[in-house]
Amino acid sequence: MRTAICERLGVEFPLFAFSHCRDVVAAVTNAGGFGVLGAIAYTPEQLDTELTWLDERVGGRPYGVDVLLPGKVDAQALDREARLADAVPERHRDFVAHLMAKYGVGGAGGPIGGPIGGPAAGSADEVGRRVTAAGAAGLIDVALKHPIGLVASALGPPPPELVARAREAGVPVAALVGTVEHARRQVEAGADIIVAQGTEAGGHTGEISTMVLVPQVVDAVGPVPVLAAGGIASGRQMAAAMALGAEGVWCGSVWLTTEEAETAPAVKRKMLAASSLDTVRSRSRTGKPARQLRSAWTDEWDSGQESPGPLGMPLQLLVAESAMARIGAAAERGEPGALELANYFVGQVVGQLDQVRPAREVVYAMVSEFADAVERLGRLSG
């Protein structure tokens, strides 16, 4: 199971695993895949700690780092010298307070822009600033001090300085896209690898399905290698992606229910019980369309009569993450209203995720099923 991307990056399987959890990244990398750590959850200091931990556990095997760089952000908010949270309108603050009261979410309130808990140190305000070129620069500085094998840029074309610095360090740059036009722009901006992500995917995604998008992108940017993303959580789906011309697959959702995942237990249980109809593209978490578990949170923001509508990025990110810190804590205490509100980013393959398994086992199962699928196709053509 060797493709050109395997040879280029030095991996056994062309299986890329995006995760905010270092344990998932290490497990997939050590199993022969290529783990990619989402960096937005960390301050530069924390990212250095996480990557040092990974360096000590992957034995020189390659892994990557993903930074969130949207093409457009709320410039008015970012121009402020004060905290980003100060730019959140009062009506949005009131709406969050209304939701907490409506669903009976107890516990300490926590101001918008305040501490959010989880893997990120500091405040939601600080997390919001990491989705800017300036904020990401600090994360990239740290990443390039480690023996990483890839830098991935999500949402927007990689800034010229990122490409230049990565090239100088001999590190290829990957970019996620949802349209052919975006793929061409990313290549023009210097991306070495394109990740064509269909609308089935969890997190920020467009409206074109993986089956349609991948071959279009392959034809448009060749010979630049393309990875397929969105709706891939099994070896059969992996084989289908490779048949469309992809050199590998980029998966995120499938790791959320693994033993190592950072997913909160209450949300993990919701994922295990969910069908593929239980996700929605919503701006309610980040300000940009992102596929996630449908919950009372998405329903109230997207169609509730009292909703002021989501803000742009990064302000909605501040609003949501501050609230979700409180909701998550209440959900873990078993509060019914908090369980209704709680959600997380996940793709339509959530309907296939019905058990908790070690990440290594997921890798081997996908590779084994891939081989069976290819063998079956060979018999059909014989």
Asked if 185 and 310 sit in the same domain, the reply is no
d(CA 48, CA 60): 17
pLDDT digits (tens, 9 = 90+) for 46-60: 999 999 999 999 999
Q: Is residue 8 part of a domain?
A: yes
At residue 294's C-alpha, the angle toward residues 292 and 300, to 5°, is 115
Asked if 147 and 231 sit in the same domain, the reply is yes
Q: Is residue 68 part of a domain?
A: yes
Asked if 183 and 307 sit in the same domain, the reply is no
Residue ranges in the chain modelled with pLDDT below 50 = 73-81, 118-121
Q: Is residue 247 part of a domain?
A: yes
Number of domains the chain is built from:
2
Q: Is residue 269 part of a domain?
A: no
Asked if 68 and 85 sit in the same domain, the reply is no
Asked if 299 and 198 sit in the same domain, the reply is no
Contact 19, 39 (CB under 8 A): no
Contact 131, 124 (CB under 8 A): no
HSE at residue 215, side-chain half, CA atoms within 13 A, is 5
Residues 6+ apart with CB under 8 A from 10: 61, 62, 149
Asked if 111 and 196 sit in the same domain, the reply is no
Q: Is residue 237 part of a domain?
A: yes
Asked if 140 and 16 sit in the same domain, the reply is yes
Asked if 165 and 225 sit in the same domain, the reply is yes
Asked if 159 and 104 sit in the same domain, the reply is no
Strands 203-204 and 193-197: unpaired
Q: Is residue 370 part of a domain?
A: yes
Q: Is residue 290 part of a domain?
A: no
Among the listed residues 34, 29, 32, 36, the one whose alpha carbon sits nearest the alpha carbon of residue 12? 32
Among the listed residues 53, 64, 152, 116, the one whose alpha carbon sits nearest the alpha carbon of residue 264? 116
Asked if 145 and 247 sit in the same domain, the reply is yes
pLDDT at 84: 77
Asked if 25 and 95 sit in the same domain, the reply is no
Q: Catalogue the E-assigned strands of the chain.
A: 15-19, 34-38, 64-69, 150-155, 173-177, 193-197, 203-204, 226-229, 248-251, 279-282, 290-293
Model pTM? 0.91
User: Roughly what angle, to the nearest 10 degrees, separates helices 210-221 and 180-188?
Assistant: 40
Instruction: Give the residue numbers spanning the domain of 91.
Output: 80-118+295-341
Q: Is residue 220 part of a domain?
A: yes
d(CA 102, CA 175): 41
Asked if 152 and 253 sit in the same domain, the reply is yes
- Say what the alpha-carbon torsion angle 336, 341, 346, 350 is, to the nearest 10 degrees: 40
Among the listed residues 148, 123, 130, the one whose alpha carbon sits nearest the alpha carbon of residue 69? 130
Query: Residue 26 belongs to a domain with what CATH number?
Result: 3.20.20.70
By CB neighbour count within 10 A (0-12 exposed, 13-18 middle, 19+ buried), where does 364 fall?
middle
Residue with tokens 């992606």: 241
